[in-house]
Amino acid sequence: MKAFALPLCAGLFLAALPATADDVSDTLKSALEAYEAGDIQYAMEEIAFAQQLLKEMKADSLTAFLPEAPDGWTREIDTEMAATLGMLGGGVGTKASYSDGSDSFTLTLMADNPMVAAMGSAGLMGGKMIRVGREKFADQDGQLIALIGNRVLVQAEGQNKEAMRALLETMDFRALASFGQ
């Protein structure tokens, strides 16, 4: 029965994927072929690779929540955020730096990370609470921090709180709360 279950589950999963070929479906097909050929190690490697590709896709969709730079500012997206989260227990994240030439700040979004989950159960500690739209942010020594939907950490950090707050006010927190679901 066990030998039948994995191919059946993988087959059902592959059938649910779009008909067009992409890296994820190709990798899952390769894993299934390796499994059927008895090459368990390669099948596991392919499944892990497919999982990594899916995480990258999810991280890319989180990046879409980073606001464009305000007039007179520039935005630079940090492409190394995923590697950092791997060392912090996983999840997905994205980060951008905003600058107007003299002032700068960073905006970080992290989702489905164990540290974020722990923060949700402990609550935001310390700092003055402020509102940005309908969300409550902790104002802590140059940082504005909120937990959206109990799973997405939003952190703006820098010295120009007015610019950070104005940028945060452009975000769709309701959509962010349901990110990836």
pLDDT at 58 (0 to 100): 78
Sheet with 74-78, edge to edge strand ranges: 74-78, 92-99, 104-111, 152-158, 143-148, 135-140, 128-132
pLDDT at 13 (0 to 100): 44
Question: Is the pLDDT higher at 139 or at 2?
Answer: 139
Of 65, 30, 25, 59, whose CA–CA distance to 44 is shortest? 30
Q: What is the pLDDT of residues 48-59, one digit of tens each?
A: 998 888 877 877
Q: What is the pLDDT of residues 11-70, one digit of tens each?
A: 444 444 443 348 989 999 999 999 999 999 999 999 999 888 887 787 778 889 999 999
pLDDT at 113 (0 to 100): 76
With 90 as the cut, is the pLDDT of residue 92 above it? no
pLDDT at 85 (0 to 100): 56
With 90 as the cut, is the pLDDT of residue 157 above it? yes
Q: Which helix (H) or strand (E) holds 39?
A: none
- Domain 66-177 superfamily per CATH: Mog1/PsbP, alpha/beta/alpha sandwich (3.40.1000.10)
The predicted model gives 103-107 an average pLDDT of 95
**Tokens encoding 106:** 């960073």
pLDDT at 142 (0 to 100): 81
Query: Is the CB of residue 147 less than 8 Å from the CB of residue 137?
Result: no
Of 74, 58, 57, 75, whose CA–CA distance to 66 is shortest? 75
- Domain parsing of the chain, residue ranges: 2-61, 66-177
Rounded CA gap, 178 and 151, in Å? 9
Phi first, then psi: give them for residue 43, nearest 5 degrees.
-60, -45
With 70 as the cut, is the pLDDT of residue 164 above it? yes
Q: What is the pLDDT of residues 67-90, one digit of tens each?
A: 999 999 999 998 776 555 554 556
Task: Give the rounded percent of residues in the chain with a pLDDT score beyond 90.
Answer: 46
pLDDT at 93 (0 to 100): 87
